Amino acid sequence: MTDWEKCVAFHGHSCGGLRIGYQAAQYARQLLQVDVSDNEQLVCISENDACGVDAIQVLLGCSIGKGNLLFHVVGKQAFSFYNRATGESVRLVLKPKPAGMTPEESARYYFEHDCQELFWVKETKLPLPAPAKIFDSYDCECCGEKTGANWIRLVNGRKLCLDCCEQYNRFDV
């Protein structure tokens, strides 16, 4: 099975959006001289939560559960990649495609052009995130569900999860 076929199998179908992530992952491999990350050595921060992220998971081994796939969703087809081992990083930003394309033409465009033609290579905007932490867990004293310590709030001496505690924001009137 080819890398592309693995991406399609994981994502569920072939589409232009998946191809964008595929091309970004291939370009990151070239630029940072990396392969599949079996730990947190390679980190991806995606600026979108679209189809292409699935290809990055398959090709580079970045995943939410491992802590090396993070989202800074601002609606851009842009991906920042960080190599913890070398300190190198790169931000790949999708260039505009020609105007007036049908959806079919648009999808075909991403298949017919190589990664160097599709992306601008820029400096990363965000600093390399710290490695993922493992937190102690506590039972919420309202709903009883186990919750990571970082997401527990003390309210009148009771440990409450974010779902059970009243949010306080002086700007919401």
Question: What's residue 171's pLDDT?
Answer: 82
| Residue 127 forms part of a structural domain | no
On whether both 24 and 96 belong to a single domain, the answer is yes
On whether both 75 and 39 belong to a single domain, the answer is yes
On whether both 54 and 106 belong to a single domain, the answer is yes
On whether both 112 and 46 belong to a single domain, the answer is yes
- Nearest CA to 61 out of 38, 31, 87 is that of 38
DSSP lists the bridge partners of residue 83 as 42
On whether both 36 and 108 belong to a single domain, the answer is yes
Structural domains counted in the chain: 2
On whether both 147 and 79 belong to a single domain, the answer is no
How far CA 169 is from CA of 166, 172, 173, in Å, comes to 10, 6, 8
Instruction: Provide the terminal-to-terminal Cα distance of the chain, rounded to the nearest Å.
Output: 56
pTM value surpassing 0.75: yes
Q: pLDDT tens digits for 30-53?
A: 999 998 888 889 999 999 999 999
pLDDT at residue 172 is higher than 80: no
On whether both 72 and 31 belong to a single domain, the answer is yes
On whether both 144 and 172 belong to a single domain, the answer is yes
Q: pLDDT tens digits for 111-168?
A: 999 999 999 999 999 999 898 888 899 999 999 999 999 999 999 999 999 999 987 7
User: Over the range 84-104, which residues count as b (16 or more CB within 10 Å of their CB) and which as e?
Assistant: beeeebbbbbbeeeeeeeeee
Range(s) of the domain holding residue 77? 3-122
pLDDT at residue 92 is higher than 80: yes
* Per-residue tokens: 173: 């009137």
According to DSSP H, which parts of the chain are helical?
A: 3-11, 16-32, 52-60, 103-112, 115-118
On whether both 71 and 139 belong to a single domain, the answer is no
On whether both 100 and 158 belong to a single domain, the answer is no
| Residue 128 forms part of a structural domain | no
